Amino acid sequence: MTPVFCTIVPPHVLDKLAQSEDPALSRPARQTLQRDAYERTHRRLTTVLGAPATPPPPAAAGTPHRTIYDAQHKTTLPGKKVRGEGDEPGKDATVNRAYAGLGATFDLFLKAYGRDSIDGSGLPLDATVHYDEQYNNAFWNGEQMVFGDGDGEIFLDFTIPIDVIGHELAHGVTQYTANLTYFGQPGALNEHVSDVFGSLIKQYTLGQTAAEADWLIGAGLLAPRVSGVALRSMKAPGTAYDDDVLGKDPQPATMEDYVRTGRDNGGVHINSGIPNHAFHLAATALGGHAWERAGQIWYDVLTGGELKEDAMFAEFAALTVSAAKARFGDGSDELRAVAKAWEQVGVRTL
Ligand SMILES: [Zn+2]
């Protein structure tokens, strides 16, 4: 089991910001990249040593066990405990959003898929808010969630989009299940799975159908001066932002525009646009609540034991087709919708 160190803002976006001539934009980006590099190394060390960040869960199954900490703008984790499970909301909206986001993630996995927390065994959910100063990111370090406040110029408070919280925690679910290698196509599938469940957590919380959902990742995170609506779009990959400072959203929507790159772990946050688009097409073709049918099929693949750590898009796609058939039957609408969606994005289902 290898935890993924995924920051919601990928390095290629921060690299671009770090090159800005305006120090108000470049300084927070550079500091964030330095922090991310440090945390990535530190995470590896704690993983090797197996140091537990949290005590074993209490006995009660099927209920979340959340703890929110405040880093008070420093970088020591986890920081000062500010809210435990069942505590009343306090004055800090950031703390309350983090608490609610962890709860929403727990709820979707439990109520839609019968999964007790991200490890399936009631893992306590810990999060730290107000991490560092002007920190432009949020991440799951294999043990807990961490949120920055953003620099206020490009990024706002990272607890604002609930799908960002869901995306990061879903990396934990992948870590405990298929454990997809974080490079190239399996890495893009790892990112894709997190975007799928991140978006489904938002849709579940808002009670939205596939047609009503925005299918964006990180809506509400970009400051008003940025020309863009979110970090990524599952509906129309490549259209989330097009900005003087941030550059243009590099995601392809189909295999025709697949990006070959050594950056970003072989484009894990870039080529994830292709399976993201396929999921959106399948879910909207089926209609209704996306977590019930399309989400169930993807969850079955993730947890079914057949998905290999180094799976390529075509192997993953073939497994979704088998999972649709196994759960909904040969000749079912679900099977047809899933097979057609992969065809539309140019991924063969073997
Ligand atoms: Zn990620």
> Same structural domain for residues 91 and 118?
yes
Examine the fold and report which residue of 145, 176, 207 is the final residue of a domain before the chain moves on: 176
The helix-helix angle for 184-206 and 273-286 (nearest 10°) equals 40
Look up the CATH number of the domain holding residue 54.
Answer: 3.10.170.10
State whether 148 and 209 are in the same domain.
no
Are 211 and 190 found together in one domain? Answer: yes
Digit-coded pLDDT (tens) for 172-191: 999 999 999 999 999 999 99
Asked if residue 92 lies in contact with residue 37, where contact means CB atoms within 8 angstroms, the answer is no
pLDDT in tens, 107-152: 999 999 999 999 999 999 999 999 999 999 999 888 899 999 999 9
- Model confidence over 45-92: pLDDT tens digits? 544 444 455 555 554 678 999 999 999 999 999 999 999 999 999 999
Q: Which residues are CB-neighbours of 21 under 8 A, at least 6 positions away?
A: none
d(CA 54, CA 52): 6
Same domain, 110 and 252: no
d(CA 107, CA 115): 9
**Ligand 1 midpoint to CA 104 (Å):** 18
Q: Would you give the distance in Å from CA 292 to the centre of its chain? A: 19
In a domain, 349, yes or no: no
Which candidate in 130, 171, 192, 269 is catalytic?
269
In a domain, 197, yes or no: yes
The verdict on 149 and 188 lying in the same domain is no
10 Cα to the center of ligand 1, angstroms: 8
Distance 154 CA to ligand 1 centre (A): 19
Say whether both 24 and 103 belong to one domain. Answer: yes
Question: What's the pLDDT score for residue 237?
Answer: 98
pLDDT in the model for residue 50: 44
User: What is the band of 222 on the pLDDT scale with cuts at 50, 70, 90?
Assistant: very high
CB 212 within 8 Å of CB 194: no
List CB-based neighbours of ion ligand 1 within 5 Å. Answer: 6, 191, 194
According to the model, what pLDDT value does residue 54 have?
55
Examine residue 224 and state whether it is found in any structural domain, yes or no.
yes
Residue type, 29: A
Please confirm, yes or no, whether 269 is among the known catalytic residues. Answer: yes
* % pLDDT > 70, the chain: 94
What is the pLDDT at residue 143?
87
CB 259 within 8 A of CB 250: yes
Listed residues 176, 193, 214: the one ending a domain: 176
Dump the DSSP string for 219-243.
Answer: TT-B-TTSSBS-SEESSSTT-SBEE
Looking up residue 243, the CATH number of its domain turns out to be 1.10.390.10
CB 171 within 8 A of CB 186: no
Decide if 145 is inside a domain. yes
Same domain, 233 and 321: yes
The pTM assigned to this predicted structure is: 0.94
Question: Of 39, 168, 191, 334, which one is the catalytic site residue?
Answer: 168
226 has a pLDDT exceeding 90? yes
* 193 plus 142 within the same structural domain: no
Q: pLDDT above 90 covers what percent of the chain?
A: 87
Is 31 part of any domain?
yes
Q: Give the amino acid at 301.
A: V
Which DSSP category does 55 fall into? Answer: P
Distance 49 CA to ligand 1 centre (A): 24
Same domain, yes or no: 74 and 110 = yes
**Cis-peptide into 78, omega within 30 deg:** yes
Strands 216-217 and 242-243: unpaired
Contact 235, 215 (CB under 8 A): yes
Helix residue ranges, H only, 50-179: 93-107, 113, 162-176
Count CB neighbours of 308 within 10 A: 14
1 within domain boundaries = no
Strand partners, 267: none
Q: How confident is the model at residue 6 (pLDDT cuts 50, 70, 90)?
A: confident
End residue of a domain, out of 143, 159, 176: 176
**Are residues 153 and 271 located together in one domain of the fold?**
no
Q: Say if residue 232 is in the same domain as residue 166.
A: no
Indicate if 65 and 106 belong to the same structural domain.
yes
Q: Which domain holds residue 48?
A: 6-176
Q: What distance in angstroms lies between residue 209's CA and the mean position of ligand 1's atoms?
A: 24
277 is catalytic: no
Asked whether residue 232 is domain-assigned, the answer is yes
Asked if the structure places residue 268 within a domain, the reply is yes
Q: At residue 103, does pLDDT exceed 90?
A: yes
Q: How far is the CA of 280 from the centre of ligand 1 (A)?
A: 18
Work out the average pLDDT over 1-21. 85
Q: Which amino acid is at 118?
A: I
Has residue 19 got a pLDDT over 80? yes
Looking at residue 202, its pLDDT comes to 98
Cα 170 to ligand 1 centroid, rounded to whole Å? 8
- How many domains in the chain? 2
Give tens-digit pLDDT for 273-322: 999 999 999 999 999 999 999 999 999 999 999 999 999 999 999 999 99
